[in-house]
Amino acid sequence: MTARAATDRPIELVEAGPFRYRIEARGAMRVPGIVYASAALLPDVAEDASLRQVADVATLPGIVRASFAMPDVHWGYGFPIGGVAATDVAAGGVVSPGGVGFDISCGVRLLTSTLARADVEARRADLMDALDRGIPRGMGPGGVWSVGPDELRSVLTRGAAYAVERGFGTEEDLEHTEGRGTVAAADADEVGPRALARGAAQVGSLGSGNHFLEVQVVEAVLDPATASVFGLHEGQVCVMIHCGSRGLGHQICQDHVTRMLGAMARHGITVPDRQLACAPVESAEGRAYLGAMAAAANYGRANRQLLTHATREAFAAATGHRDLRLCYDVSHNLAALERHEVDGRERLLCVHRKGATRALPPGHPELPGPYRATGQPVIVPGSMGTASYVLAGVAGNEAFSSACHGAGRVMSRHAARRRIGGRELARELESSGVAVRSHSWRGLAEEAPFAYKDVDEVVRACEGAGLARVVARLVPIGVVKA
């Protein structure tokens, strides 16, 4: 059931340190809200609904420490995008599909090459045409791999590991993917028939909206020692891929929100917004969602793995080079069971990260061997036509080792289309040195750079707040969109 709490009162932000603002707990809030931002990024207290969502998330049963908002925070479904919240499983902590979002395991991977910018300039049009032909994208069906029911089930249970086993990648790819490409707790039996039908025809596809494939160049290295470990150097050509679990993940979210809405009264749970529908982690509904979510996460990781294979094929055809190595693949829409110390005691927590990426510190046992000395690569794409960043995880991150995931929208898609047309935007990007391959002028206009926050400022706030440190800045020379 839902009921409005005392959080209906105006939100008040108090500056609580560098790049850190606090919403004091009141009414039904069980913990405070913490917003990481600079003065330039701070949402409008009176008009921005994302701050209300930060406060509403703080009412969830079992939530600990705080309801966190990353510097790229903006309004989302239930949770703000850029929201992080952890619940204590043993204390009746809940899992909420709204804390993951519709595009389960949406994430980013960065591929590095042995090519320099000069190596691809003369062949850039051929390369972009090859990527245009080889990268399936858009709202409808079509993917790199046409799978049958048994193969789809293997994708859901084994993720990128199954794609690699079938010849779509390398062992090194798995070493540089979260969880070696597989979420072990996946339960394909909890994925409904409609979700299966939507997912079967989209394995290995980019999707639409803010998803993209970008050919980029490392413009600047800010931390040479860490960049060397990550395989990055100035002038190097890289590829960034941003996509998720497509229609399958969207349907899973819909199905399990509906199920939890029907179960909250039985569990004695009241939330201030229906979009925060939730259930205890250890309940039948909670376990069912986590199993289905993990299956969608495996789908998302396999999806990016297959797009990596297609990218390598396009590079080979256009440049003669297919040696693209995976720097790292990280999800930014997921709920994970993790152990963290809270109030001096280690606890099992359900950590929701929605539009937020893990940023594991140096020494973390889940990191690949070379990255244990540096901290986890944190990949932060900018808006189309602007810079992107690679950061590294640091010790002492209070937000359960989480960081920003991108630039963050400030303008609706409709407003962006009113301001510029897709053809005009393509001409502007081309004149600035960014080759564009898009199936939809309307979709291109919706993702105009001015519709997003300044990624340079977002990253500055992220580093200033002690969430991660900057390693390298990359700029695009080509973009593939739906």
176 belongs to the catalytic site: no
Q: Is the pLDDT of residue 215 over 50?
A: yes
Q: What is the DSSP letter of 92?
A: T
Supply the mean pLDDT for the chain.
Answer: 96
- Which residues have a Cβ under 8 Å from the Cβ of 38 and sit 6 or more positions away? 19, 71, 457, 460, 461, 464
pLDDT in tens, 217-252: 999 999 999 999 999 999 999 999 999 999 999 999
Write the CB contacts of 50 (distance below 8 Å, at least 6 apart in sequence): 43, 69, 73, 74, 75, 76, 80, 81, 82
Indicate the CATH number for domain 6-88+105-410+452-481.
3.90.1860.10
Distance from C-alpha of 54 to C-alpha of 266, rounded to nearest angstrom: 26
Which pLDDT score, from 0 to 100, does residue 7 have?
A: 55
- Mean pLDDT over residues 102-126, rounded? 97
* pLDDT surpasses 60 at 6: no
Model confidence band, residue 142 (pLDDT cutoffs 50, 70, 90): confident
pLDDT in tens, 37-78: 999 999 888 888 999 999 999 999 999 999 999 999 999 999
Task: Give the residue extent of every domain in the chain.
Answer: 6-88+105-410+452-481
User: What pLDDT is recorded for position 3?
Assistant: 41
pLDDT given at position 5? 45
pTM of the full structure: 0.96
User: Predicted confidence band at 123 (pLDDT cuts at 50, 70, 90)?
Assistant: very high
Predicted pLDDT at 371: 98
Q: Is pLDDT above 70 for 406?
A: yes
Average pLDDT over every residue of 312-323? 96
**Of these residues, 242, 250, 256, 405, which one is catalytic?**
405
Direct distance between the N- and C-terminal alpha carbons of the chain, in angstroms, rounded to an integer: 39
**Of all residues in the chain, what percent carry a pLDDT higher than 70?**
98
